[in-house]
Amino acid sequence: MPGPSTHIWRLLAWGRTLARHGALRGIEHDDNTPPPVRRLCRLARLGTFQPRQPDYAGAFQEIGPAAIKLGQTLATRPDLVGEEAADNLLTLQDSLAPVPFAAIRRAVEASFGQPLERLYADFDPEPVGSASIAQVHRAVTAEGRQVAVKVLRPGIRERFARDIQTYEWAAAHLEALGGEASRLRPRLVIANFKRWTNRELDLRREAASASELAEAMKGFAGYCVPEIDWDRTNGRVMTVEWIDGIKISDVEALKAAGHDLPDLARRLVLAFLTQAISAGFFHADMHQGNLFVRPDGTIAAIDFGIMGRIDRRARQWLAEILYGLTTGNYRRVAEIHFEAQYVPSYHSVDEFATALRAVGEPMRGKPVSELSVGQMLDGLFAITRDFDMQTQPHLLLLQKTMVMVEGIATQLDPAINMWDVSAPYVGGWIRDELGPESMLADRLREDTATLLRLPDLIRRIEDRFPAKGGAPEPPPLPDIGLMWERRESRGAAWLGYAAAGLAGAAAMWAAAAMGWIG
C-alpha cells in the first residue's frame, strides 16, 4: 500500500489538472463542499490560467483512464455537478491513442501461448475502436467466422489498481469530515467502483455477462447479444461475433434504411425494463456507441464490461415506484421508500408523499421532449437532503442506464412518452410476479392504512426477501489510517488535514459519480 505522500502527490497532480481546465469551480462554489476541501480547491488553482468556460471533459481526459470512467458517469448526474458540467462531460470520449499493433500481438500471443496466426486466419492491425481499457480489432477465425477481438491495454490493470488505492485513501479522509460528505458515503461507493472496474478488467467476466444476458433475453424479439467464441477468450482477450449494422445514433442512416424509429425507441425501452425488472441483470453501458441496428431491425448490443444486478426484492420496489409515479399513487411510492429504509422512520410518510407529488405531477402525460425521466430524477434528488436519505450505491448503475436509455429513445422518437411505454409493462410484471398477493394488497390499500402493512409484514415473516430494499451487504472497507490521527507532530497532522482536503476534492468526483440518492 503506498504511503500518504504518494497519495498526496497524485491528488495534487490531479487537482492541478482540474484547476488548469477550470474544473474546480463547481466544487469550490458548492455550498455542500466541506470548508477544508473548498480551501484546498483555492490553493490548487493558485498560479493557473483558467479558461472562461470550464472544460471538465478535457481535464478528465488528461488525468487518465480511471478519471475518464468517472467523468462519463458524472455526465449523467446534473443534480450533483450542474447542467453545465454534465453537458460538457457528455463530450468526453472514452478513447485514447491506439496501442501499437506489435504490443497487441505480443499481448494476444502471451495470453494464449501460441502464435497469432494459429488463432486467426486474418487479423486487421488497425483497431476499429481504442478506449481507455481496451481496443478492438476485426479478425477472421481459422474456421472463417467474422469476429471482433477485444484486447486489454498492456499495463491497464496495474494503472487502475494504483488510482483506486488513492481513491480509497481520499474517500476515507473525505468521509471523516462528516456532514454532506459523510452522507454521500464515498468509502462505500469507491468500494463498489472497485468491484465494477475489476470486473471490467477481466474479459472472461465480460464474456460470461454477455452469455448470461443472451440467455435472459431469449424470449425478447428484436434484441440480440453477439455470440462468444470461448476458444479464443481469456482474461485479457475476448473474441465475439462481428456485428454488422447501423449505429443507433445515426438517425439519418436508420431512416434511409427504412427502419421504424418510434418502434426502435419503444423496443429499446422495453428491452431495458425486461432486463432490469424481469431478469434483475442489465446492460449498464447502453450508450449510443454500444448499440447497433441490423438490417432486419434487430437491436444488437455490444460491450458488456459494465453490468448491473438487483435482487427480486429491489426489483419489486422499483416496479412499484415506477408504477406509482405513472399512476399518481404518490402515497404508495412514499411508503415504499420507508419500507426500503431509504428514508429514516422519524420523517413523515405524508410529507414525503407531498414532496414526491411536487416532482411527479408536472411530468405526467407529457412527452420526453418536454419533460424527462432525467428531470424527474433531478427533482427526486433535490428532496433527498430534506429527508436525510443516504446514497444507495447498488442502484447507481440502474439510474445511470435509465438516463442513457431515455436519451437514445428521445433521439429516435422525440414524441415518446416514457411513462406510457413503461406503465403497461411494469403493471403487467407486478400482476404476473405477485399474483393474488398484489391484488389483495391493492384491495387492502383501499381499506385501511393499518391493513396495508399486512402483505409486507407477511413477506418479511416468511423471510422470502432480504430487507432494506435489496441493498447488498456492504463490502469490507480497507483499514486506512487518517492523517490527522497521526501523532508525530502538529505539522504532520496539519499536512495530513490539508492533503485530505485535496483528497476530498478528488473523492467528490467519485462520490458524486457513484452515489445513488433516493
Strand partners for 129: 136
How far the first Cα of the chain sits from its last, in Å, is 34
> What single-letter amino acid sits at 331?
R
Q: String of b and e for 294-315 (b: at least 16 CB within 10 Å)? A: eeebebbbbbbbbbbbbeebbb
| Cβ partners under 8 Å of residue 166, min gap 6 | 2, 6, 7, 10, 11, 503, 506
pTM of the model: 0.74
Q: How many CB atoms lie within 10 A of CB 488?
A: 8
Four-point Cα dihedral 367, 369, 370, 375, nearest 10:
100
Residues 6+ apart with CB under 8 A from 62: 17, 21
d(CA 139, CA 120): 7
* Residue reference for cell 504490443: 103
- C-alpha distances in Å from residue 170, one per residue of 4, 166, 241, 500, 512: 10, 6, 41, 6, 14
Is 350 a catalytic site residue?
A: no
Rounded to the nearest 10 degrees, the angle between the axes of helix 156-176 and helix 186-200 is 170
Q: How far, in Å, CA of 489 to CA of 399, rounded?
A: 45
Question: Which pLDDT tens digits describe the chain residue by residue (518 residues)?
Answer: 678 888 888 888 898 899 999 988 877 877 777 787 888 888 888 888 888 888 999 999 899 888 888 777 667 656 556 677 877 887 777 778 899 999 999 999 999 999 999 999 999 999 999 988 999 999 999 899 999 999 999 999 999 999 999 988 988 888 888 776 676 677 887 887 788 788 889 999 999 999 999 999 998 999 999 999 999 999 999 999 999 999 998 999 999 999 999 999 999 999 999 998 889 899 988 888 899 999 999 999 999 988 888 887 777 767 777 777 777 888 888 888 788 777 888 899 999 899 888 877 877 666 655 655 556 655 666 676 678 776 565 566 677 788 788 888 988 998 887 777 887 887 787 777 655 544 444 444 444 444 445 455 554 444 444 445 555 566 677 777 776 665 444 444 444 444 444 444 444 443 343 333 22
For residues 293 and 256, what is the distance between their CA atoms, to the nearest angstrom?
13
Q: Which of 285, 303, 378, 420 is catalytic?
A: 285
Q: Which is nearest to 189 in space by CA: 517, 474, 515?
A: 515
Are the CB atoms for 465 and 433 separated by under 8 Å? Answer: no
Output b/e per residue, 332-358; b: 16+ Cβ within 10 A: bbbbbbbbbebbeeebebeebbebbbe
Which of 465, 413, 396 lies closest to 437 in space, CA to CA?
465
Does an H or E element contain 40, and which? helix 35-44
Strand partners, 120: 141
Residue found under cell 427526486: 380
Three-state DSSP at 307 gives strand
